Amino acid sequence: MIRIGIVGYGNLGKSCQKLVEKTEDMKLVGIFSRREIKKDGFYKIENIEKFKDDIDVLILCGSSDKDIRVQAPLLIKNFNTVDSFDTHKNIPSYEEKMGKIAEENDKIAIISTGWDPGLFSIIRTYSEAILEEGKTYTFWGKGISQGHYAAVRNIEGIKDASQYTIPKEEFIKKIKNGENSEFSPEAAHIREVFAVAEEGYDKKELEEKIKSIPNYFDKYHTIVHFISQEELNKNHKGMPHGGKVIRVGQSPNQNQSTIELSLSLENNPDFTAAVNIAYARAAYNLKKENKKGAFTVIDIAPKYLLKETRQELIKKFI
């Protein structure tokens, strides 16, 4: 049995808890939170080191901007970790930092799992390897991004919020038609925020703070709506998401080829949790081979993600 610990008990932490409890080769040792949760199996994060000999892999379920980047470098000293750090431009420096600490402490850190970064990273890699001449396009949504709405809710004066990423369909049509389009993620998407403001705060100022959040909103066309908590609860508390990666390229004879992966997710945290669970198993399997250091999804062979032996996987999938 792979002994699992969960750090953080928001939407992702709750989804990970449910899935670990249903996964036959895993056992949930404990859930660790800054909050005091008076239930069996819940512990304050300050006491986590007491469990370093009882946990094989920690799954970090906090936000990228506030939690993971602070907690992960500390936790990797005593635990093998898996996280969904999703600030793309900061992943190289984060990987370097985690790799150094993991190497020094003989630990495994699997970073930036999930679906983007994560599964989409893998398909971008394979697509470019196969179609060397071409362009790769990534679209997100329509859906609610956990990292984005967490960033909005961290603003003082914001009581609650949801955020939708919406791809511009005209970009997708042009790409599939083989039209050369000046593409950037910022130009190809709209961000739409539904927020509940605390009493006494200026909504114009809050809107400007939202639109200026770096890496999430500052370069995007962002629309902000202030609504009541009741309306937010009624209309914007689901957690759908999805997206697609499209690579359009030429085969050796200059024939056009298209590779596409599309995801449609009814519940974003549940799906992200499922990816984290698979990579927690990979961390455990890598550790059994005495590996150490930081790994991303492009470093890890698929065989490490599943319970079956290599020969069983060849028979089943190849």
Q: Is 11 labelled a binding residue?
A: yes
Angle of the 146-153 helix axis to the 268-288 helix axis, nearest 10: 110
Position 71 in a domain: yes
pLDDT at position 181 is 64
Ranges 40-49, 91-100, 204-213, 255-264: which has the least confidence = 255-264
pLDDT at position 66 is 84
74 or 249, greater pLDDT? 74
147 pLDDT more than 80: no
The number of folded domains in the chain is: 1
Position 7 in a domain: yes
Position 99 in a domain: yes
Ranges 112-126, 199-213, 239-253: which has the least confidence = 239-253
Q: Is 116 labelled a binding residue?
A: yes
Q: Is 94 labelled a binding residue?
A: no
CA distance 174 to 157: 41
Position 261 in a domain: no
Express each pLDDT in 233-276 by its tens digit: 999 988 899 999 999 988 777 788 899 999 999 999 999 999 99
Query: Considering Cα of 75, then 80, then 86, then 89, what sign does the dihedral take?
Result: positive
Q: Is 99 labelled a binding residue?
A: no
Q: Is 310 labelled a binding residue?
A: no
Per-residue pLDDT band for 180 (boundaries 50, 70, 90) equals low
Q: Is 125 labelled a binding residue?
A: no
Position 167 in a domain: no
With beta carbons less than 8 A apart as the criterion, state whether 127 and 247 touch: yes
Position 232 in a domain: no
Express as a percent the part of the chain with pLDDT over 70: 99
Q: Is 87 labelled a binding residue?
A: no
Q: Is 10 labelled a binding residue?
A: yes
pLDDT at position 14 is 97
Q: Is 64 labelled a binding residue?
A: yes
Q: Is 269 labelled a binding residue?
A: no
Ranges 2-6, 10-14, 31-35, 249-253: which has the least confidence = 249-253
Express each pLDDT in 28-70 by its tens digit: 999 999 998 989 999 999 999 999 999 999 999 998 878 999 9
170 pLDDT more than 90: no
What's the CATH number where 82 sits? Answer: 3.40.50.720
Q: Which residue type sits at 242?
A: G
Q: Is 165 labelled a binding residue?
A: yes
Q: Is 293 labelled a binding residue?
A: no
The average pLDDT across 285-291 equals 98
CA distance 10 to 8: 6
174 pLDDT more than 90: no
Q: Is 42 labelled a binding residue?
A: no
Q: Is 9 labelled a binding residue?
A: yes
Position 128 in a domain: no
179 pLDDT more than 80: no
What's the domain range around 103?
A: 2-117+269-311
Q: Is 184 labelled a binding residue?
A: no
Q: Is 202 labelled a binding residue?
A: no
CA distance 151 to 63: 8
Position 192 in a domain: no
CA distance 194 to 149: 9
**Could you tell me which residues come within 8 angstroms of residue 161 by beta carbon, excluding any fewer than 6 positions away?**
149, 152, 153, 193, 194, 195, 196, 232
pLDDT at position 161 is 95
The average pLDDT across 89-111 equals 98
Phi, psi values for residue 6, rounded to 5° = -120, 130
